[in-house]
Copies of this chain bind each other. A is one copy, B any other.
Amino acid sequence: MEMKVSDIAALVGGAIAGDPSLPITGLNGLKEAQPGDLCFLRSIKYADLLAESRATAVLVKEIVDNCAATMIVVNDPDFAFAQVMMHYQQQQTHHPKGIHPTAVIGEHVTLGANVAIDAHVRIADHARIGDNCILYAGVYIGHHCTIGPDTLIYPNVTIREECQVGARCILHSNSCIGSDGFGYAPMGGQWMKIPQVGCVILEDDVEIGSNTSVDRATFGETRIGQGTKIDNLVQIGHNVQIGKHSAIAGSVGIAGSAVIGNRVRVGAQSGVAGHLTVGDDVTIAGRGGVTKSVEPGKFVSGFPARDHQEERRIKVSLPRVPELLRRVRQLERELEALKEG
């Protein structure tokens, strides 16, 4: 990153209090900042940090006393910092370009305009890759897959046959879309595999974390709705339906045929049992284990997951059980004494 304070002020529309010619070489938090870094002050209540920070420049909402750094005054420091990050990312990002000669592209594959396909990519027959897609090295696209325009697929991602990925999706490294659902029928003490002939559909603007698995449907489709974001190491079972603009944190498991609504938030390490419905706008706190359907708008936690306030009341009471045992023993003794006395 090579910008001056004046460049940043121009980018975010801010007023400079200090030296506009100072070079900015990185972005950082106020505590971690080194000379050359740009920071931002989220709230005036953290203003004390400015006195000790080694940052070269800081985005602030108003002039602050005792600030060694050059200040850039903006309306919304948080947003302005995000603008600088976005600019920085555009500068630093060097996605692959063009179609690498080692990529192996099958028959009847349709490639959109301006597609980038890096080394050792494998695209099977009849796949369709939309305009401006970027496929990093080692990506596998199965036959008859459709990838929407402007989608970004990081190295070593596997998308199995017949799956559909929307526009502007991001798939992180080593994730797997369309592996077989875990379906077997018991037969004579053994497991007979139930064919998994459905597919996965990721709608537009979906993001899938690294090492995450989304299983194909037994039949029909597993669907992740528009704008839904899924973190790393998440397991999405066959025939799961997730609505739009939901967010699923790391290491979560959603069992087969569960239906998750729109704008649902699932905390890290949570689980949802199969064939349940989780309504719109539900929040599941981290480590929640959902064993029954959840009404829209509820905030649940615990295992089995229940209303969060109720769960909290129970959780704080449990450490008192040893004490309860003593008190009940004491009551029994005293009652015995009373009865005898």
Contact = CB atoms under 8 A, between A and B. Distances in A.
Interface residues of A, number: 109
A161 interface: yes
Contact of A324 (B118, B210, B321): B321
B213 A233 contact: yes
Contacts of A119: 104, 120, 122
A232 B179 contact: yes
A249 B182 contact: yes
A250 interface: yes
A303 B287 contact: yes
B271 A268 contact: yes
Interface stretch (A12-20, A44-52, A292-300, A310-318): A310-318
A102 interface: yes
A317 B322 contact: yes
Given A172-B180, A251-B271, A317-B324, 20 more contacts: A27-B197, A27-B219, A82-B185, A88-B195, A104-B120, A118-B122, A122-B137, A138-B158, A154-B160, A158-B174, A172-B176, A174-B174, A179-B209, A182-B250, A184-B247, A209-B213, A211-B213, A233-B233, A318-B321, A335-B338
12 contacts: A27-B197, A85-B218, A94-B161, A156-B158, A158-B210, A170-B193, A174-B211, A174-B213, A215-B232, A318-B321, A328-B328, A334-B335
